[in-house]
Chain A
Amino acid sequence: MAVGGPDNVFLTKLDAAANWARSNSLWPMPFATACCGIELMATASSRYDISRFGAEVMRFSPRQCDLLIVAGRVVMKMLPVLQRIWLQMPEPKWCISMGACACTGGVFDTYAVVLGVDRFIPVDIYVPGCPPRPEQLLASIIDLQNVIMEKGTLSGKEFAERRTAEGPAPLSLEELRRSRDFLLEKAIEQEQSSQQPH
């Protein structure tokens, strides 16, 4: 507080003012694909009341949101949609990966389910649980508010510093080897068939 100023004026850093405003009015984009979506709806209900943390304005258009909540498993056919939604959201934006499936693929370790959305889009907060209780999601929103208060800047330059994908390595060695073997087999087959006299 400035000394000697009027009572209804106080001084602060512009970054801190922006962070305070942003962290207390998160607009979530619910990307609910499975049972975590039900818990997400429960979190928004009057029983748990996400609006106590200023994040009650759920919009179903990514253009109006700044917090992507990925709730549920994401299959390979859905991942391009998720990426497009993420790209359509205006800056500054954050992402919560909610539940075991969104974080790691969960029990759905099959050909169609992506092993964690953090391999393909940036994630700020991970919420464990299958599905997480509403209290856990509220705790993650409080955590995200703390992250914004600590690291946020008015121009969002803290985002530009992160140049690599977060989370685990995008390919597991075992699957790399398997796909390489498959491609090799295919190439050998093609070569053999092309060598045969017609």
Chain B
Amino acid sequence: MSTTEERLKERFGAAGFQTSHFRDNVRFDISSENIQSALAFAKNDCGFDFLAELTAADLLEYPDARNRFRVIYVLVNTATGERIILRTHVDLPDPTLPSAVPLWKGANWMEREVFDMFGIRFSGHPNLKRILMPEEFVAFPLRKDYPLRGRGERHNFPVITRAES
């Protein structure tokens, strides 16, 4: 058992989160109410000063999934090299999480990408708008119920012919 896990248990209680392991990854599943305090605790008290990755997954049609979206934070302690993964879950119709930008400025664009692709909103984000897709795009393309070939958006352009140009 890692000392980080013990400290998290001290702070949030043994029922406050679930721990799972995959190879050398340690993953803590935390409820969306506690995720901000858990991130702040990891950063300020456990020395995880670097947010390496912030991403999401759509668990639609995923076996044994109880929630629709999973948001994943990968934290690194740059002094010791230790790496942990914090995960939380949100659901439709209004998937919202507190923003991690006050803790790590690098979360800014990563949260915008998660918003762009999955439609998960981050309350408190300074500039939450689309980062990859055009502003006028209406769908969230990495949701599993969005068709791979889109809904005709890529055809929605004027056609320029020789006579016109």
> Which residues of A does B touch, CB under 8 Å?
76-77, 79-80, 83, 86-87, 93, 109-115, 119-122, 159-166, 170-171, 175-176, 178-179, 182
In the complex, whether B155 has a CB less than 8 A from a CB of chain A is yes
B: residues with CB less than 8 A from A are: 133-134, 141, 146-155, 157-163, 165
Q: With A77-B133, A170-B155 known to touch, is A112 a contact of B163 (CB < 8 Å)?
A: no
In the complex, chain A residues whose CB is within 8 Å of the CB of B154? 76, 111-115
Set A76, A110, A122: member contacting B162, Cβ < 8 A? A122
Interface centre among A76, A113, A114 (most CB of B within 10 A): A76
Contacts of A114 in B (CB 8 A): 154, 157
Sorted nearest first, the 10 A-B pairs with minimum C-beta distance are: A111-B150, A179-B152, A162-B162, A165-B159, A159-B162, A122-B162, A182-B151, A76-B154, A179-B151, A163-B163
Q: How near does chain A come to B108, taking the closest CB pair, in angstroms?
A: 21
Q: Mind listing 7 A-B residue pairs with CB under 8 Å?
A: A76-B153, A109-B148, A115-B154, A120-B157, A165-B159, A165-B160, A171-B155
Task: Tell me the complex Cα distance, A120–B155, Å.
Answer: 9
- Judge whether A83 and B163 touch: CB under 8 Å: no
Kindly identify which residue among A93, A112, A120, A161 contacts B150, using a CB–CB cutoff of 8 Å.
A112
- Closest B residue to A181 by CB, please name it: B151
Docked Cα-Cα span, A83 to B157, in Å, equals: 10
A109 to B148, CA, bound (A): 8
Whether A111 contacts B146 by the Cβ 8 Å rule is yes
B163 touches A162 (CB 8 A): yes
* Closest residue on chain A to residue B150 by CB atoms: A111
Instruction: Supply 20 further A-B pairs (C-beta < 8 A) apart from A111-B154, A176-B152.
Output: A76-B153, A79-B157, A87-B165, A109-B149, A110-B148, A111-B153, A113-B154, A115-B154, A119-B155, A121-B160, A121-B165, A122-B165, A160-B163, A161-B163, A162-B161, A163-B162, A163-B163, A165-B160, A175-B151, A175-B155
Residues of A within 8 Å of B157, CB to CB, are 76, 79-80, 83, 114, 120
The one of A119, A122, A175 in contact with B149, judged by C-beta atoms closer than 8 angstroms, is: A175
| SS class, residues of chain A in contact with chain B | loop
Complex Cα spacing A42 to B133, Å: 32
Cβ A112 vs Cβ B141 within 8 A: yes
Tell me which residues across on chain A come within 8 A of B159, comparing CB atoms: 119-120, 165, 170
Q: Do B148 and A111 touch across chains, with their CB atoms under 8 A apart?
A: yes
Query: Provided the pairs A121-B160, A160-B163 are in contact, do residues A77 and B134 lie with their beta carbons within 8 angstroms?
Result: yes
- Supposing A170-B155, A175-B155, A178-B152 touch, asked if A111 and B141 sit within 8 A by C-beta, the answer is yes
In Å, the complex CA distance between A76 and B135 comes to 12
